[in-house]
Structure 1
Amino acid sequence: MEDAEHHIRSNIDKPVLYQRFINIFKGRGVFATEFISKGDFVVEYRGELLTQQEGEVRADQYNDSAKVFLFHFQWKGRTWCIDASEEDSSLGRLVNDDHKRHNLKMKAIQANDEPHLCLFATRDIVAGEELTYSYGDSDWPWRTQVIKTELSSSPKPMVRTLLKS
C-alpha cells in the first residue's frame, strides 16, 4: 500500500509502464516495461471524484465513448464515481478490459482522506505484456464475438463497477 500511496500523493504513474496504440477496435493500451510481481501496486485509476448522483448526471450527459471512463464503486457505505474521461497523461484510464484473462484487479484504498481506485497485479506480469482488468458485469460491446452493426433499442447501461473479492 505504501507504493500506491506514494504514487497517489505524487500524482505520477510508475516508470515501468507505457502506452501504445493497439488497433482501431481496441485503441490504446498500457504495457509493462519490466517484470511486475503478483500483488504489486501497478497504477491508479485517476480522475475526478464524484458522488453517485453527480456520476449519474455525467452518464446522462456523456456519449458512449466518454461513459466508459465513469467508474462507480462503494466506499464506506456510499456509492462514488471516478470520472476519468478527461484526456490527461495518466495511464490508469487507458488500461483495457479483459473479463477472462485479466492480470490486474481494482481495489479502493484510502489516501489523503479520500478513496482512490488502484490496480494491483493478480499474477506475475512479464515485460511487454498488456495490462488488463475486468470492467465488471456489464454487456460491453467489445465482449461479443460477433460485431453488431446496430444496437438494440434498450441496451443495458454500461458502467464499470468494483467487483467484490
Structure 2
Amino acid sequence: MRRKRVNPFEESQLWVKTDPPGFEIDVFENKGRGVRSTIPRQRGDFLLVYSGQIISKKEGERRERKKSSGYRYFYRDLCIDATKDDGRLCRLINHGTKKEINCKMKLCGDCLCLFATRDIQQGEELLYDYGLKSYPWNSNLTLVKRIFRWKTLLALTHHSSIALPVEKLLLKMIL
C-alpha cells in the first residue's frame, strides 16, 4: 500500500535545519563514506537538504582555486560550500554513473534539495551525478575495476608479494 504523498517542496522546508530520519552513513568499497536509505523511497520523494554556506559562484570559484574541496556545489550563480562538516548527510552522497543514479539536486526556494529520480530500495546507496566529466574516476573507471580485479586475483592465488609493485605501476598509469 502506497503512503500518502506529501508535497516534496513543503517537506523540504521542514528539514532545513536537520536531516529527516531513514538514512545512515556507511562505508562503500572504492568510494569511502556514503549514505544509504534505511526505508524504501518512491520516485519524486524529497530526500535531503544540501546544507552549507551560500556564497556567490565567483566566491566559490575563488575558494576552489585557493583550496580545492569536493564539498562545494555550484548551481547557476550560486555556490553552497559544505566544506565544513556540520554533520548533515547530503554532503556525503557519492557520485553515480548513468544506471546507478537514483536522485537529483533541485533548487527549492533558497535550498538545494535532493529528490529521488526512481524508486529506491531499503538499504540502497544514494547516488547522483555531480555534473562534471573531468573527475578521474569517470575516465579511469574501467582501469580502476581492472586494478581491483587484479589485486583480488593476486590475493586469491597467494602472489601478494608482487601485488604492491603492480599496484604502484598501475597507479602511476592512472595519475
Structure 2 length normalisation: TM-score? Answer: 0.74
What is the CA–CA distance in structure 1 between the aligned matches of 2:95 and 2:126, rounded to whole Å? Answer: 9
Q: Deviations over 1:15-64 (max 9, x none)?
A: 101101123x311010000111110000011111011121011101113x
Call closer, same or farther: CA 1:150–1:70 in 2, change over 3 Å.
Answer: farther
Give the corresponding residue for 2:172.
Answer: 149
User: How many residue pairs get matched?
Assistant: 138
Is residue 2:32 matched to residue 1:37?
no
Gaps spanning 5+ residues in structure 2: where? Answer: 1-8, 145-170
Q: Which secondary structure does the structure 1 equivalent of 2:78 belong to? A: strand
Give the percent of matched residue pairs that are identical in Structure 1 and Structure 2: 36
What is the CA–CA distance in structure 2 between the aligned matches of 1:72 and 1:135, rounded to whole Å? Answer: 10
Call closer, same or farther: CA 1:151–1:61 in 2, change over 3 Å.
Answer: farther
Give the corresponding residue for 2:15.
Answer: 7
Q: 1:138 aligns with which of 133, 136, 142?
A: 133
Larger fraction in strand: 1
Larger radius of gyration: 2
Moved segments of 4+, more than 6 Å: none
What is the CA–CA distance in structure 1 between the aligned matches of 2:173 and 2:73, rounded to whole Å? Answer: 25
What is the CA–CA distance in structure 2 between the aligned matches of 1:47 and 1:39, rounded to whole Å? Answer: 23
What is the CA–CA distance in structure 2 between the aligned matches of 1:15 and 1:91, rounded to whole Å? Answer: 11
The one of the two structures with greater contact order (alpha-carbon pairs below 8 A, sep at least 6) is: 1
What is the CA–CA distance in structure 1 between the aligned matches of 2:95 and 2:60, rounded to whole Å? Answer: 20
Give the corresponding residue for 2:167.
Answer: none
Is residue 2:55 matched to residue 1:50?
yes
Q: Which secondary structure does the structure 2 equivalent of 1:149 belong to? A: helix
Call closer, same or farther: CA 1:60–1:106 in 2, change over 3 Å.
Answer: same
Q: 1:62 aligns with which of 61, 67, 73?
A: 67
Give the corresponding residue for 2:75.
Answer: 73
Call closer, same or farther: CA 1:98–1:70 in 2, change over 3 Å.
Answer: same
Which amino acid is 2:18 matched to? I
The alpha-carbon deviation at position 88 of structure 1 amounts to 2.2
Contact 1:99 1:136 in 2 (8 A): no
What is the CA–CA distance in structure 1 between the aligned matches of 2:35 and 2:20, rounded to whole Å? Answer: 12
Is residue 2:119 matched to residue 1:124?
yes
What is the CA–CA distance in structure 2 between the aligned matches of 1:57 and 1:19, rounded to whole Å? Answer: 30
Gaps spanning 5+ residues in structure 1: where? Answer: 153-165
Which amino acid is 1:17 matched to? F
Structure 1 length normalisation: TM-score? Answer: 0.78
